[in-house]
Amino acid sequence: MQKCLEIQHGATPPTRRERFFGKDPLVPEARSWFKGALGERAVAVALEQLGPEWTVLHAVPVGTGQSDIDHVVIGPGGVFTVNTKNHAGQKVFVGGGSFMVSGYRQPHMRNALHEAERAERLLSVAAGVQVRVQPLLILAAAASFKVGRKTPMVVTLQAHQVGRWFHGLRRVKSAEEVRFLSMLAEERGTWHVESLVITDTLRHVQRFERLEREVIAAAGRRRFVRQVSVLGVLAVPAACLLGYWWAIAVSALHG
């Protein structure tokens, strides 16, 4: 959200005419960040419904820069890093080490594995014992999703499969282990060199939600303009046809 808003901050506001015709307020450079944020929010909602036995952390900062892990999930079934992807309107295929989007290979599998390895290393150091972390890829949206014959290197789920998949895991962590690991994971110093960073999260959320409303309103305006245009195009021949039949009727009456 924050990155999307940073890019949008320099955008030129649409004119009154552009707003009337539903010009998309998003600048092209912000579109992927906007879609990514929508995807993370959708997956976050699904994860939050796992129940009290599970701890779910969002946008966990790692390292020294601005990198983060979309979600970290800790519970009876283990510890997981979750990488969300929003491929709305595109066909997704996974199998072995391949993650294909509309026929093009993407590095999502490799990135998810690297993310889990990094989280495993940091969490193990904080815990003083080896902590296994499993990567997950969750699709917030896609036109279609197909799994090949080869088992994917990284478990890949659709958002609606999240609850059933997690609840189907066998217990590998006791309640005490879950509490201990959750406590460590909630400490920013476990993940990031700056143990305390103050950010105005609420303001970012409010600004993003306002932008989302503007994008939705613009899309609705574009649909309305298209419908009016279609009706306008159809109205001309309809009016001509009506005039033709009216002329015939009048001619018949006077005949």
178-195 per-position pLDDT tens digit: 999 999 999 888 988 765
- List CB contacts of 33: < 8 A, sequence separation 6 or more: 3, 4, 7
Q: To the nearest whole percent, how much of the chain has pLDDT over 90?
A: 46
If one compares 91 and 229, the residue with the highest pLDDT of the two is 91
pLDDT given for residue 174 in this prediction = 95
How many CA atoms lie within 13 Å of 64's alpha carbon, on the beta-carbon side?
0
Residue 68: the pLDDT is 85
- The one-character DSSP state at 1 is -
Residues 143-166 pLDDT 10s: 999 999 999 999 999 989 999 999
Average pLDDT over residues 207-212: 77
Domain boundaries along the sequence of the chain: 49-192
- Helix H or strand E segment including 48: helix 28-48
The answer to whether the beta carbons of residues 130 and 96 sit under 8 Å apart is: no
Average pLDDT of span 121-125: 95
| 164 token code pair | 């059933």
Is residue 215 within 8 Å of residue 24, measured between CB atoms? yes
CB 145 within 8 A of CB 158: yes
pLDDT digits (tens, 9 = 90+) for 65-81: 678 899 999 999 999 99
